[in-house]
Amino acid sequence: MSRVKTDGPPIAKARATYLLELARGCSYVDSTLSPDTGDRAIAEIISEFRELYGDQELAIFRKLLAENLRRRGKQDAASAVVNFKLAGQLR
């Protein structure tokens, strides 16, 4: 995942624009019981985001999702979001 600044107007706009997706994504990932179900939840959230918005803002969305999970005390889930490999990416 590319480096994304998490302050300033673009990130504030992204937070507001993707508020619902971020809340839903955090809740969904937070509710999973194992790393496998967490990975499936992350894949589903990212896939749905890509269908709605395309890939252009995906890095910002993933960064914000990870930040929100960290705020909830879910460090492992936040790391999983940051390190998640999309289909077709090199490992």
What mean pLDDT is reported for the chain?
Answer: 87
Alpha-carbon gap, residue 42 to 49, rounded angstroms: 11
Instruction: Name the residue among 8, 26, 9 with its Cα closest to residue 64.
Output: 26
Predicted model pTM = 0.82
Which residue's structure tokens are 């993933």?
Answer: 62
pLDDT band at 6 (very low <50, low <70, confident <90, very high): low
Alpha-carbon gap, residue 79 to 74, rounded angstroms: 9
Average pLDDT on 40-66 reads 95
- Per the model's pLDDT, the better-predicted residue between 56 and 9 turns out to be 56
Instruction: Name the residue among 68, 83, 54 with its Cα closest to residue 19.
Output: 68
Give the Cα-Cα-Cα angle 63, 66, 70 (nearest 5 degrees): 135
